Amino acid sequence: MLNVEGLTLAVTDPDTGQETEILRGNSFSLGQGEALGLVGESGSGKSMTLKCILGIEPPGSKVGGSIELGGTDLLAASGEQLRKVRANELALIAQNPHGALNPVLHVERFLIEGMADARGIPKAEAKARAAGLLRQVGITDTERVLRSYPHQLSGGLLQRVVIAGAISGEPRLLLADEPTTALDVTTQAEVVAILDEKRREHGLSMIFVSHDLDLAAAICDRLAVMKDGAILEIGTPEEIRDRPKTDYTRALMAARPLLHPEGRAPVLPNGTETDV
């Protein structure tokens, strides 16, 4: 469903006119319902890869190669066509959920506006549906949350709201950029478990950006290891763990924090054992 070929990104410094190569001709593809983890050190180009797919790369930068989503080449598409594809097919879950919601709107408005057919349905039904969405992401006091402004909710609760909103738009591809990094550790595990569960329920494809290799391995079918703007290798979590092709991947594996001194894999709240 997503096919990225030779993706390059070059940014020009407006003051010096100097061009920097940020992405170096990366290729990867993603099938329906598949989750790909993008892992690698800070500055390796993970977020920029997602930005190119979303068409929100920095102003003045040049994108090359092709990004084909469900048969549409996003880099060749016209503005209107692009707007449609993005609105219908993509949903972004970013690090800071506060950035995703309009601070002056109630959660209820946020969820209703995200519904694909919001205009065609009566208000009471839309509200009932919004409450249903919240229950789907494990929120029980739906009345209170629907009436809240973003700043009145904790980061973890708000990230659940963002996930509910993302799912309700019925996208085909979720782009999650360190979706739990801003949350405390317990909440992180809960939010990741919900994201993973909803994604599977709805059969969505996902690109999951993380510098937590164990976490990415636990919920992704394949991992792409990035360094200095290049994808060094792509493989299943087992391949990356047992048969790394590059010294860098080996070093990345070795540098993981030793969370499990007894050699036991961490377990997500939904019972999934991580396997790296």
Ligand X SMILES: Nc1ncnc2c1ncn2[C@@H]1O[C@H](COP(=O)(O)OP(=O)(O)OP(=O)(O)O)[C@@H](O)[C@H]1O
In the complex, what is the shortest distance from the CB of residue 227 to Mg ion, in angstroms, rounded to a whole number?
14
Answer yes or no whether residue 47 interacts with ligand X by CB under 6 A: yes
Beta strands in 99-184 (DSSP E): 173-177
Q: Which residue from 58, 99, 266, 269 is in contact with ligand X, where contact means CB under 6 A?
A: 58
* Residue 11 site contact among Mg ion, ligand X, none (CB < 5 to 8 Å, cut-off depends on kind): ligand X
* Residue 180 site contact among ligand X, Mg ion, none (CB < 5 to 8 Å, cut-off depends on kind): none
* Residue 106 site contact among ligand X, Mg ion, none (CB < 5 to 8 Å, cut-off depends on kind): none
CB closer to Mg ion out of 47 and 66: 47
Answer yes or no whether residue 148 interacts with Mg ion by CB under 5 A: no
Q: Are 185 and 152 in contact (CB under 8 A)?
A: no
In the complex, what is the shortest distance from the CB of residue 215 to ligand X, in angstroms, rounded to a whole number?
13
- The footprint of Mg ion on residues 13-72 (CB under 5 A) is 47
Residues 6+ apart with CB under 8 A from 12: 18, 19, 20, 60, 61, 62
Residues 6+ apart with CB under 8 A from 42: 211
Answer yes or no whether residue 44 interacts with ligand X by CB under 6 A: yes
- The footprint of ligand X on residues 13-42 (CB under 6 A) is 22, 42
How many Å apart are CA 201 and CA 105, to the nearest integer? 29
SS3 174: strand
Answer yes or no whether residue 96 interacts with Mg ion by CB under 5 A: no
Q: What is the pattern of x (binds ligand X, CB under 6 A) and - over residues 205-224?
A: ------x-------------
State the residues that interact with ligand X by CB under 6 A.
11, 22, 42-48, 58, 211
